[in-house]
Structure 1
Amino acid sequence: MGRAMAGHGTDGHPHGADRLCDAGDRVYSRAVRRGRLPRRDAERVPCLLELALLHPDPDDMDWLVPTAPQEVMTRLLRGMYDEVSASQRRVGSAVTAFEWYAGLGRQVHAPPVAAEGPAIRVLDGLARIQAAMDEATQACTTEVLTVQPGGIRREAELSEGLHRATALRGRGVRMRDLYTHVARHGHGLLSYLELMGDAVEARTLDEVIERLILFDRTVAFIPANAERTMALELRHPGLVEYLGTVFERLWRLALPLTAPLPDTGIEGISHREQSIAALLAEGHQDAVIAERLGISVRTCRAHIARLSETLGAASRTQLGVRIAQTGLDGPRGPAVTLPGRGSPNGR
């Protein structure tokens, strides 16, 4: 989901979770005792958000809730044991640092935290999102389902996910990806799929839902803001099952990447222009249509201009009438005759 804007001013707090600054120690301890605290109280200690010791309350983003001390200790030690050959002394330091926090958690009788984490967790910052995604990738054993909105995939995005996909393929994990039809025109995506072989299956639709990544039908990640600098990590079984059902229904409607797009049945009107016509008939503005189909506003307007010319419409109002007359405002049916243009085959 990207790598930017993750620092939150931590240059003034150059430390890890195993050696908190005094200010961070005080604020985190207060948060554990009280259960949550206003976001403004943590503004001077951005290290707590960066280290995921505090995270936004899903019910009220103006408040922060503490990660349970036991979970913090477990997460820290897990990462350190991966590097134990190079940093054994840090493991002992972490245990010492967090023994007191574990005791604090027992004193306030905090409810036990499941080993896999809370049902809904807000991931604040792209570095934290990346770390959580890496953890889910390491734990994944069966399948990964993804929905990738937008248009042609940038080389940087494909390269960023390649190491994760390669690791999954090496463990026999199957992957299914949903893209918009526009993504078919990206050479980078075709190269990526060729490299991954039969480990990845891709299909496309005119438009898809917002970004979704689902691991083993157990944990899902979705954006939490428009900039995608925050995400929700979902482990609630009901939510995860619902998202899995949404994916499967979209998958059944989608076309394999190797299959050609269907003909509209109307000469001079492409499949993409048919999709634009249907969205115009729903009353959407150019920018909304472009975003939903994964194209630029400029490209969208060029298609609308060609659509108007093909249908013989001199204005937007007239274009709407022509779209309705030709049946482009609904499911595609039998070929129709364009107003004033003869048969659809031009005969």
Structure 2
Amino acid sequence: MGPSLPAGPHAYQEVLRFDTPPWHTGGTPNPIEIRNLERGVAYRIVYSKSAVENGDYYACNIRPCIAAGEQARVLQSLPVKLGVFDQQLAIVSMAFGDAEVNDSMLLVHPSSLLRALTGLFETSWRSAYPLHFGERVPPALRPIQRRILELLGSGVTDETIAELLGISRRTLSRQLEQLNRAADATTRFQLALYAARKGWI
């Protein structure tokens, strides 16, 4: 179960979630998801860019869940906060912009609305950008460089990348220079094309 949803729903196979502020638990760690991942529950999460940009949340929640096996992607923004549990129950609540107007939640049981919400998730999942490329780090890259490429793909700023990785802007610039040299790239677009061709991402 995710950090933006209340305690209660249990999943045995799969959780689908839109994760965006504000968080009902205050953006704290998520031991329930990590335990569920350990027992084989699959998690596919689409984060809003604002969730990834929150350094504390990224460190205490997003990174540990990805490390435990969560599949994560990111979009610029999300229309609602959503959790779908085993395709049997959905919980919907307002995203950040509407939260002050309406703090209620909607429980959706098997119905055409539940199928529509699942379809919305799947469409968003297909158009979202990967936030994690897997555990394998190509020999040409250091782990920090792989994480830089992951975050570049999420659309966050260089300043945010440095903050999320706990490195200075100067260190980030040096790592990017090394990546560009390795790819013989002069633009980020060229770097992305090279990284895709070489299997870095």
5+ residue gaps in structure 2?
A: 132-149, 158-201
Is residue 147–residue 177 contact of structure 1 (8 Å, CA) maintained in 2? yes
1:126 alignment counterpart? none
The 1-side partners of 2:99 and 2:24 are apart by 19
Tell me if 1:194 matches 2:68. Answer: no
> C-alpha displacement at 1:262, in angstroms?
8.3
Higher RCO (Cα < 8 Å, 6 or more apart): 2
Aligned-residue Cα RMSD (Å) equals 3.2
1:222 alignment counterpart? 92
Which of 226, 241, 244 aligns to 2:115? It is: 241
Which of 254, 260, 263 aligns to 2:152? It is: 260
In structure 2, relative to structure 1, the CA distance for the partners of 1:260 and 1:209 (3 Å cut) is: same
> C-alpha displacement at 1:222, in angstroms?
0.9
> C-alpha displacement at 1:186, in angstroms?
2.5
Is residue 18–residue 47 contact of structure 2 (8 Å, CA) maintained in 1? yes
Q: Deviations over 1:6-58 (max 9, x none)?
A: xxxxxxxxxxxxxxxxxxxxxxxxxxxxxxxxxxxxxxxxxxxxxxxxxxxxx
Which of 16, 22, 38 aligns to 1:145? It is: 16
TM, length-normalised to structure 1:
0.33
Is residue 144–residue 173 contact of structure 1 (8 Å, CA) maintained in 2? yes
Which of 202, 206, 216 aligns to 2:76? It is: 206
The 1-side partners of 2:153 and 2:17 are apart by 21
The 2-side partners of 1:148 and 1:262 are apart by 14
In structure 2, relative to structure 1, the CA distance for the partners of 1:262 and 1:213 (3 Å cut) is: closer
> C-alpha displacement at 1:164, in angstroms?
2.2
Alignment of 1:193-342 (within 5 A): 193-196=62-65, 197-223=67-93, 226-227=99-100, 229-257=103-131, 258=150, 260-261=152-153
Is residue 176–residue 202 contact of structure 1 (8 Å, CA) maintained in 2? yes
In structure 2, relative to structure 1, the CA distance for the partners of 1:240 and 1:156 (3 Å cut) is: same
The 1-side partners of 2:90 and 2:63 are apart by 26
The 1-side partners of 2:122 and 2:108 are apart by 18
> C-alpha displacement at 1:226, in angstroms?
4.0
Q: Deviations over 1:185-219 (max 9, x none)?
A: 22333332332324212211111111111101110
1:179 alignment counterpart? 47
Larger Rg: 1
Is residue 37–residue 68 contact of structure 2 (8 Å, CA) maintained in 1? no
SS in 1 for 2:122: helix
Is residue 51–residue 58 contact of structure 2 (8 Å, CA) maintained in 1? no
Matched length? 130
Is residue 19–residue 45 contact of structure 2 (8 Å, CA) maintained in 1? yes
Is residue 173–residue 199 contact of structure 1 (8 Å, CA) maintained in 2? no
Read off the aligned partner of 1:237 and give its amino acid letter.
S
The 1-side partners of 2:71 and 2:56 are apart by 15
Which of 10, 22, 33 aligns to 1:165? It is: 33
Is residue 204–residue 254 contact of structure 1 (8 Å, CA) maintained in 2? yes
5+ residue gaps in structure 1?
A: 1-128, 264-269, 272-347
TM, length-normalised to structure 2:
0.54
The 2-side partners of 1:147 and 1:167 are apart by 20
Bigger CA drift: 188-197 or 164-173? 188-197
